[in-house]
A and B are shown apart, each in its own frame.
Chain A
Amino acid sequence: MIRKTMLATCVVGALALTTACTSAGSGGTGSGTSTLTYMTFETPSLNSTFWNDSIAAASKEAPGVKINRITSPSTDRDGYAKQLQASGQFPDLLQSITPSTFAGAGLLVPYDQTWVDANFLLPQGNALKGKVYIPPTNSQIIPEVFYNKELFAKAGVEPPKTWADFLTVCAKLKAAGITPMELGGGDPFAASMPLVGVLSADVLGKNPQWLQERYAGKVKFTDANVVTAVEKYRKLVTEGYFDKGALGVKYADSITQFTGGKAAMYMMGSWFLGSVPKDNADNFGAFPVPTDDGSVVIPFAVGGSMAISSKTKDLAGATKFAQAWSLAPGNLKALIESDGAFPMLKGKTLDDYKVTVSQVFKDSFAYVTDENTKVASIGWASNDDAMPPGLNDQLYAASQALFTSADVKGEMAKLDTAWDTATK
């Protein structure tokens, strides 16, 4: 009896410990079929149905590949992928991650360049040292300035071309009792949009190699030209062109407030196009962040679909599935309509995606297809211009800090320190 009790207790204990201490493995092949883990994420528009349907469609092109979809608990795909890597569960396929974060550690395999060249408008749009780790299926302008036509008409102003004109527009709107700019300052990334805009347009617009030069230590955030650009953002704050409580406004609320006519302009990534109210879409327009001389500078980021793990047990199957998924117009349809993504597949027009988009989308897309100065959107690039790990957070913090602090140089010095720490 004693032995039985002891034995039972030990078996239960051993089982509990074994279960607790064993981490789940991924992949594995059997009878010609491989099971690949695919990390996705969900948003109201890119919901479970979207992912399941898109996986089913791509799976038809990749027979023998079975997809086990896992979902990132938040939109921070990079963070979740790192947790999975740290626990030995790095997925075979990873949707919309920042490749620079993982490629440097040898965790990703590049796509075949011939295939990339054959299928995408900007084959090197998100390349890292010449290699493409996520197919460049779509792009974004981050940010552009969206405006409410009705409120502009009420204040008697037109979309500005130069920074001076922009300040005049803001002043006239304020004088007319209209809040000139909406800001979702409660969410750090949204708070950073005006700063990203002026830095990209002013600093990178004049020196597109600025980020590479920062890596090389040739330029700094405390340089006079950067400080001057950041002071433009400070001026918008000190002149009262944002609501004074903007740091308490969440990103989702900022969208509601802008589309509800509470402010005349909104600097945001082009994904906002997916939030333009369909029944009132013609009331909204967009223009690039104005520059001093009125030249058009587009802060641009080429995104993409999924990266392939270098640890995958079935590289051929993973590649086949990823390529099929990336070239399916149906998958981009949802991204275009709901996420304002600009498609970058070669030889296709908007009609080929069977999408219904607003005029403001078409006008914004024209900035992508037109000949103009396109520069990396600082903090959003996924190519060689991506900032070091942790710098985005520091940039967001600086944006929020400069809402209440006039110490522009001090905040820029913090960015330099963080950059140097991250790259040492």
Chain B
Amino acid sequence: MRTRKSRASRDNGLFGLAAVAFGLYLCFLVLPLLLSLKSSFTDENPLRATSGFVGLDNYGEMIHDDQLHASLGFTLILAVGVTIAANAIGIAFAMMLNRTNLSYRVMRTIAFLPQVLSGVIVGFVWQTILTQQGLLNVTLQRIGLIDSPIAWLGSPNLALLSIGVVVTWILTGFTTVVYLAALQGVPVELYDSAAIDGATTWQRFTRITFPLIAPGMTISVTISLITVLKLYDVITVLTGGGPANSTRSTALYIVKLAFTDNRFGYASAVAMLVLAMSAAIALSVTSLLRRREVNF
């Protein structure tokens, strides 16, 4: 009787806590999302008290918005490039760090550091490295590899590459930890059996490691993609979207539309597009990667 009572008491407590969580979720996620959706059908301007319903006009405008297309193109190229690089490097790092002694544990912590740093801080640090008179150019000049400084952030292609490197550096900390966790779930006996059967290192990687870390890969690839699709802070600090808007991500474009052009309604419509696009990409990638997950 006492057990049943205390269980009921615990359940009610949990129900209360769940209600709080649900309330916060409604307040901070669902409500803003619905407000944004509503705004996307209006000509809302932050400086005007009233706004008018414009139907699907904002969504129609997106079809002809060259600046939006350019920002989407940049964001997608960056997302694909960074996701591939960060995951490949993450797997390599995880395999190197998949040991138990103290020095490897310290190195794991170091590898994760970029992930815990603020994007703004990372941006400023890399800016001092990549500017015209930055550490990288000075070093390359001193060792005689270049005669004059390279505009790492000053030409569209190099700026894209530089941002890609910085974001990969940040995300690699995360992917490394995910793959490390996945690797620690792979039974050692499988490697022992493979060794007895005469499998090479490459065969052990492709036939055992790679299939068995697939669940980790699903998480890592999906989160990497989503992170880059909504990237704002690092780019703002590093290039501000320049030169000539060539590195303006869609998130930067949304902020510009809302707070420079005063077009909250249109900015909300673009935000809805990014949301739908992120959800579609995440769902596709997740379902695609899940197909190759192996259970044992």
Contact = CB atoms under 8 A, between A and B. Distances in A.
A12 B149 CA distance: 58
B141 interface: no
The prevalent SS among residues of B at the interface is: loop
Interface in A256-295: 257
A329 interface: no
Interface string B147-181: 01111111110000000000000000000000000
Interface string A5-45: 11001101100110011000000000000000000000000
Which of A86, A191, A398 has the most chain B CB atoms closer than 10 A to its own CB? A86
Given A16-B20, A105-B48, A400-B242, A186 B153 contact: yes
A245 B148 contact: yes
B245 interface: yes
Interface stretch (B79-87, B200-208, B260-268): B260-268
Contacts of B154: 185-186, 245-249
A13 B22 CA distance: 10
A326 to B, nearest CB: 24
B132 A2 contact: no
B13 A390 contact: no
A20 B127 CA distance: 35
Contact of A389 (B27, B131, B260): B260
Most chain A CB within a 10 A radius of its CB, from B239, B240, B244: B244
Given A86-B46, A101-B47, A253-B133, A17 B242 contact: no
A263 to B, nearest CB: 12
A205 B150 CA distance: 37
Interface string B199-218: 00000000000000000000
Most A C-beta atoms less than 10 A away, residue of B148, B154, B245? B154
A257 B156 CA distance: 23
A397 B256 contact: no
Interface string B1-42: 000000011001100110110011001100000000000000
A161 B27 CA distance: 63
Interface in A402-424: 403-405, 422
Contacts of B152: 248
Contact of A2 (B9, B130, B256): B9
Given A188-B240, A247-B155, A83 B16 contact: no
B259 interface: yes
A102 interface: yes
Nearest to A187: B240
A186 B239 CA distance: 7
A212 B197 CA distance: 83
A85 interface: yes
Contacts of A20: 24, 27-28
A9 B19 contact: yes
Most buried by B among A82, A186, A188, A244: A186
A83 B46 CA distance: 8
A86 B49 CA distance: 9
Contacts of B260: 79, 389-390, 393
A422 B261 contact: yes
Contact of A245 (B45, B48, B132): B132
A9 B151 contact: no
A172 interface: no
A250 interface: yes
Interface in B113-164: 127, 130-133, 148-156
A13 B152 CA distance: 50
Nearest to B156: A404
Contact of A82 (B12, B19, B46, B153): B46
B243 to A, nearest CB: 4
B132 A13 contact: no
A216 interface: no
Given A16-B24, A246-B154, A5 B261 contact: no
Which bucket holds chain B's interface residue count? 35 or more
Interface residues of A, number: 49
A249 B131 contact: yes
B256 A85 contact: no
Contact of A6 (B16, B46, B156): B16
Nearest to A421: B261
A355 interface: no
Contact of A403 (B20, B239, B243): B243
A224 interface: no
B149 A248 contact: yes
Given A17-B27, A389-B260, A248 B240 contact: no
Nearest to B264: A86
A1 interface: yes
B52 to A, nearest CB: 14
Contacts of A253: 131-133
Contact of B242 (A12, A101, A186, A243): A186
A5 B8 CA distance: 12
Contacts of A9: 13, 16-17, 19-20
Given A9-B16, A12-B20, A17-B27, A186 B131 contact: yes
Contact of B151 (A86, A245, A390): A245
B16 A13 contact: yes
Interface string B226-261: 000000000000011011110000000000100111
A353 to B, nearest CB: 34
A404 B262 contact: no
A82 B244 contact: no
Nearest to B256: A393
Contacts of A167: none
A12 to B, nearest CB: 7
B242 A188 contact: yes
A6 B47 contact: no
Contacts of B127: 250
26 contacts: A9-B16, A13-B16, A16-B20, A17-B27, A21-B27, A79-B259, A79-B260, A105-B45, A105-B48, A185-B154, A186-B131, A186-B243, A191-B243, A244-B148, A244-B151, A245-B150, A245-B151, A246-B154, A248-B131, A248-B150, A389-B261, A393-B256, A397-B244, A403-B243, A403-B244, A404-B155
Interface of A: 1-2, 5-6, 9-10, 12-13, 16-17, 20-21, 79, 82-83, 85-86, 101-102, 104-105, 107, 185-188, 191, 243-250, 253, 257, 389-390, 393, 396-398, 400-401, 403-405, 422
Interface of B: 8-9, 12-13, 16-17, 19-20, 23-24, 27-28, 45-48, 127, 130-133, 148-156, 239-240, 242-245, 256, 259-262, 264
3 tightest Cβ-Cβ pairs between the two chains A and B: A248-B154, A9-B16, A247-B154
